[in-house]
Structure 1
Amino acid sequence: MFTGIIEEVGEVVEAGEGTLRIRAPLILQDTKLGDSIAINGVDLTVAEIAGDTFFANLMPETYRRSNLGELRPGDRVNLERSCRPTDRLSGHIVRGVVEGTGTIESFMPEGDAVIVRIRAPRELLKYMVVKGPVCIDGISLTIIAKDAESFSVSLVQYTQEHTNLVGRKPGDRVNLETDILARYVDALLEARAQEAGQ
């Protein structure tokens, strides 16, 4: 489990078929083999540590559901280690299971903040509510607006400075994970409706 609070922006060193190596000196200080690290919101297992880099394997399903297949050496990625039972939950409950991708539509300055609008699939938008949580490339954010095809979030200065999101551009794909609680409620209500219909 993760919180969506980014600990470090790492750098892709190697990206190949089923493999990914990231430079991340900060989070590797107390990381060991087998630990989980969310890379742009995707929960991956540390398979090798060499100096200030770690290596993870990727499955075909990861490529289908996320933007990790588009990564190239030099790209910056958001990184977060998995939670410990004693950690504060500063963001929201994030599983590190990317459900799909969205496309950045625009960046709009608003005072010190930046409003980011993202076009998303309808099957994910149905689990999003204004003032509810969403995870974008591993970043825990609050939805401030939503319509039938897109949603918007506001990036405070800290998020602008400590994640890779403002370095992206319109047209870039981002990983999305919706609120697990909304998914559970929807599944329970659907099951109840099916039982009532029988």
Structure 2
Amino acid sequence: MGGHFVQGHVDGVAVVASRTPGDGWENVSFKVPGSLMEFIVEKGSITLDGVSLTVAELDDANSSITVALIPETLKVTTLGAAQVGARVNVEVDVLGKYVARAIAARMDGKNGN
């Protein structure tokens, strides 16, 4: 399986915190709701405004993530025009939510029976 499952469910809203042009890409950082950070991992998948992306950097202390956008993504998605301060929809990886729920159930002494 490549990539991740995108269901189209909005889990929260992130805010564009910074944009840093690179050589052939652009690093874009987002302030993410703290309640969603447990479901995000570096080099894992996240969906921002319906675009499946890889998390390049994760900053738990500041509740933020950075993704690297290639020219095609900048050109054909809304993320190319999203300025600092813009709000974008966030969908975290559903597998992360399932894992967190299973662990929480185990910690609470529930085994799913």
Aligned equivalent of 2:45: 133
Q: Percent identity?
A: 34
Aligned equivalent of 2:24: 112
Q: Secondary structure at the match of 1:135?
A: strand
One-letter amino acid matched to 2:32: A
Aligned length: 108
The yes-or-no answer on 1:100 pairing with 2:12 is yes
> When the two structures are superposed, what TM-score results if normalisation uses the length of structure 2?
0.91
Following the alignment from structure 1 to structure 2, what is the Cα–Cα distance between the partners of residues 166 and 135? 15
Deviations along 1:56-83, one digit per CA (max 9) or x if unpaired, are: xxxxxxxxxxxxxxxxxxxxxxxxxxxx
List 4+ stretches of structure 1 deviating above 4 A.
none
1:92: Cα distance to partner?
2.0
Aligned equivalent of 1:77: none
Aligned equivalent of 1:8: none
Aligned equivalent of 1:184: 98
Following the alignment from structure 2 to structure 1, what is the Cα–Cα distance between the partners of residues 99 and 45? 15
Following the alignment from structure 1 to structure 2, what is the Cα–Cα distance between the partners of residues 125 and 175? 14
> Is the radius of gyration larger for structure 1 or structure 2?
1
Which structure's residues are more often helix, by fraction? 2
The yes-or-no answer on 1:161 pairing with 2:98 is no
Task: Point out which structure has higher relative CO (alpha carbons under 8 A, 6+ apart).
Answer: 2
1:162: Cα distance to partner?
1.1
Aligned equivalent of 1:147: 59
Following the alignment from structure 1 to structure 2, what is the Cα–Cα distance between the partners of residues 164 and 195? 44
Stretches of structure 2 that go unaligned for 5 or more consecutive residues are none
